[in-house]
Amino acid sequence: MSENGALPHRGRVLTVDTMNPNVKKVDYAVRGPIVQRALQIEKELKEGVKKPFEEVIKANIGDAHAMGQRPITFFRQVMALCSYPQLLDDNKFPEDAKNRARRILQSCGGNSIGAYTTSQGIDCVRHDVAKYIQRRDGGIPSDPDNIYLTTGASDGIVTILKLLTTGEGRTRTGVMISIPQYPLYSASIAELGAVQVNYYLNEEKCWSLDISELQRSLQAAREHCNPRVLCIINPGNPTGQVQSRQCIEDVIRFAAKENLFLMADEVYQDNVYAEGCEFHSFKKVLFEMGPEYSRKIELVSFHSTSKCYMGECGFRGGYMEVINMDQEVKAQLSKLVSVRLCPPVPGQALMDLVVNCPQPGEPSYQTFMKERTAVLSALAEKAKLTEEILNTVPGISCNPVQGAMYSFPRITLPQRAINEAKVALCHMFFMSFA
């Protein structure tokens, strides 16, 4: 401070020039300029501005409830019971919902979902997740100690990428991701200062994955970084393909040969619509390939409450299963997740319901199955409809949507439109220099 008590000239401490440079590099299209523009248009419509349309439909993200999908009654009954346990005395709630709620509450400190849980997640939920995986994968064992509950799948993916990121310059960790991509990957890679290594899905073959393309991409990346991780999204986001069992085997062999850590984003595992397509978990295929693979390949698989028939994005529930992770690294992972204390408990509870849903003979079973089937059928129908309608538009072509919640059409711009745009762009430049 100067002698007369006035502050000296003081610039801002934090400016774009003095901030974390990795954060600046982050590009997040799902919530980027197009979304900002959509929000603006929506606001204008609300304020009465006249447009040639009345409504903005946001198709930039798989947000099922926002698009009118109804929540599964059973899930929400249990959530209400967990939130306000006085309702356990209410005879309007079915017994199986009450049992689930009681079991979750008994696992919580002070029987309250307002208490912190252990950082890895509630014990009984992790056990239920392991049982679910074991059932799903035809009996291949799953260890609750390998299950980490997360704040949505995003949280788990970022955490594992964080563990894997190291090195400087040519030794920096390279992360192989599919293009077209889900922007969480590019954003997290930029934020962590890792290197994004693109491999391209084959649009001509319905967005399938070619091992030769993986090989090309890896080779090229090795010139400038240390590619250590291969990320797979199956069913695909945003391309909607479903990988064949053969393809998954080939990917695992490739990862084995090239010493890559596998990350399998499997949040759309119930979203498979096309005839002849089936979901195969990476874990199952890995174990069916024999001990040579199942004892060696490091794999993390991610799931969440946000997609499939649940669509409960707002709860930010999820889990990851880590396989063949070095014990010391696992200890580091446990320490790392403990810094954020615990995943949101309502999300943990919801994850439990997904993996421990009503069973035949339980009072809620029929309603649950009816609702589940209705949602999945509606999604299948919409997948078909989207593909068909897009393909009727001249200049647009779209692959069959085999799974997930997205279609990724190709738009061919006519030469005349391109020429016009070029002229318009020139005018813009002239204007900006005028």
Site residues for a copy of itself, 110-129, by CB under 8 A, read: 110, 112-119
| Residue (280 or 316) nearer to a copy of itself, CB | 316
Stretch touching a copy of itself by CB under 8 A, among 47-55, 77-85, 195-203, 385-393? 77-85
Q: Per-residue string for binding with a copy of itself, 300-319, x by CB under 8 A?
A: ----------xxxxxxx---
Q: Considering the rule CB under 8 A, would residue 219 count as an interface residue with a copy of itself?
A: no
Distance CA(278)–CA(280), nearest Å, equals 6
Report strand pairing: 396-397 vs 410-411: antiparallel
Interacting residues with a copy of itself between 16 and 75 (CB under 8 A): 16, 18-21, 23-24, 26, 28, 30-32, 39, 61, 63-71
How many CA atoms does the CB half-sphere of 244 hold within 13 Å?
A: 11
Q: Considering the rule CB under 8 A, would residue 175 count as an interface residue with a copy of itself?
A: no
Is residue 240 a contact partner of residue 408, using CB atoms and an 8 Å limit?
yes
Distance CA(70)–CA(372), nearest Å, equals 10
Q: Considering the rule CB under 8 A, would residue 222 count as an interface residue with a copy of itself?
A: no
Distance CA(36)–CA(333), nearest Å, equals 36
Q: Considering the rule CB under 8 A, would residue 154 count as an interface residue with a copy of itself?
A: yes
Interacting residues with a copy of itself between 258 and 297 (CB under 8 A): 259-261, 292-293, 296
Q: Considering the rule CB under 8 A, would residue 231 count as an interface residue with a copy of itself?
A: no
Which of 84, 216, 419, 421 lies at the binding interface for a copy of itself (CB under 8 A)? 84
CB of 124 to a copy of itself, least distance (A): 14
C-alpha distances (whole Å) from 114 to each of 56, 126, 233 are: 37, 19, 34
Interacting residues with a copy of itself between 334 and 363 (CB under 8 A): 335-336, 338-347
Residue matched to tokens 């603006």: 40
Q: Is 56 exposed, middle or buried (0-12, 13-18, 19+ CB in 10 A)?
A: middle
Residue matched to tokens 């689930």: 100
> Is the preceding peptide bond at 180 cis, omega within 30 degrees of 0?
yes
Q: Considering the rule CB under 8 A, would residue 298 count as an interface residue with a copy of itself?
A: yes
| Residue (136 or 162) nearer to a copy of itself, CB | 162
Q: Considering the rule CB under 8 A, would residue 166 count as an interface residue with a copy of itself?
A: yes
Question: Tokens representing 329?
Answer: 């690294």
